Amino acid sequence: MQIVLLGYMGSGKTTIGKLLAEKLKIEFLDLDSYIEEIEGTTVSTVFSEKGEIYFRTKEAACLRELLATQKDFVLSIGGGTPCYANNMVAISEMTENGIYLKVGLEELVNRLTNAKEERPMIANIANEELHEFIGKHLFERSYYYNQADHVVNCESKSTDEVVTEIARLLS
């Protein structure tokens, strides 16, 4: 079983993914970490030194490479991954378990305001501009996110509740 978790940054893909993989007794993978391993450097460095086009091409190739394996895993992908290189089509065709972890704008702003220093994409955005920045991205990306096989509303739910809901969806 291959499960792909998608959603905006701060939606809980990594946290939920690790817990879900543990519950299902399968491997947890993070697409950005996989790319970093192959590139031998951080995603931020790849972006700054080789550019976004190079990164998005590498990201698409790595996504397809992982989905083509026969391994069971929970895969957390970047917030932008579904929006480029027909990645959402690949996810839909290569697994029946694309899961959008849906979190509302206000909750994302709250979560990300406290974690800006860990998020290069928003680290230099003023707190008062964060709402508009995230809102714009959510609007642009929701078309892709909503193509997932399952949409799990994570609003006002604990991580355990979300993991349990996903496990039920998959059984």
Residue 79: pLDDT band by 50, 70, 90 thresholds?
Answer: very high
133-164 pLDDT per residue, tens: 999 999 999 999 999 999 999 999 999 999 99
| pTM, two decimal places | 0.95
Supply the pLDDT for residue 95: 96
Amino acid found at 42: T
12-59 pLDDT per residue, tens: 999 999 999 999 999 999 999 999 999 999 998 998 899 999 999 999
Domain boundaries, the chain: 2-160
CATH fold of 2-160 reads: Rossmann fold (3.40.50)
Supply the pLDDT for residue 65: 98
Q: What is the mean pLDDT of the chain?
A: 95
